[in-house]
Homo-oligomer: A and B are copies of this chain.
Amino acid sequence: MNTPSIPEVTNAESEADKTGEKMKIILNLARDLNQFCPVRDVVHRISDKWSLLSILALGTHGTLRFNQLKKEIGDVSQRMLTVTLRNLEEDGFISRKIYAEVPPRVEYKLTEMGQGLMEQTLQLADWANKQLPQIIASRNKFRNLR
């Protein structure tokens, strides 16, 4: 029905104000390491080796079967792709549809929330790309000082 679009928060001026608010929230949430921390949780989910690639592949192609996805990603083992997909499914980022056929067929696609996650990730990616030269420079500088 509705493709999740990004709300108009990305204003440079109001961002400073909102940053303060957000900071309080995340600080409280991040501090309680023993409790449920959504931020750490989401970061952890996308930080493993294959989740991002899986999400991006599904985001690009819409719907993929297991082996299509495997081929698309390339060097992922069967086991790790299964694990990755289960985790993403568990959190509701992808949906899994099983067809009772012979041979079996299973189709994966992003849920609406999964698309939201992808967009968040793309924003971060966008930022990361812009910082890339500076990061590389910083690393080289750091190396030379040691």
Q: Which A residues contact B (CB, under 8 angstroms)? A: 2-12, 15-16, 19, 22-23, 25-27, 29-31, 33, 36, 38-44, 46-47, 52-53, 56, 59-60, 74-75, 89-92, 112-113, 116-129, 131-132, 134-139, 142
Contacts and interface: CB of A to CB of B under 8 A. Distances in A.
Copies of this chain in the oligomer: 2
Nearest to A90: B142
Given A5-B10, A122-B26, A132 B38 contact: yes
B23 A59 contact: yes
A90 B145 CA distance: 11
A4 to B, nearest CB: 5
Contacts of A36: 136
B3 A137 contact: no
A10 B5 CA distance: 8
B122 A120 contact: no
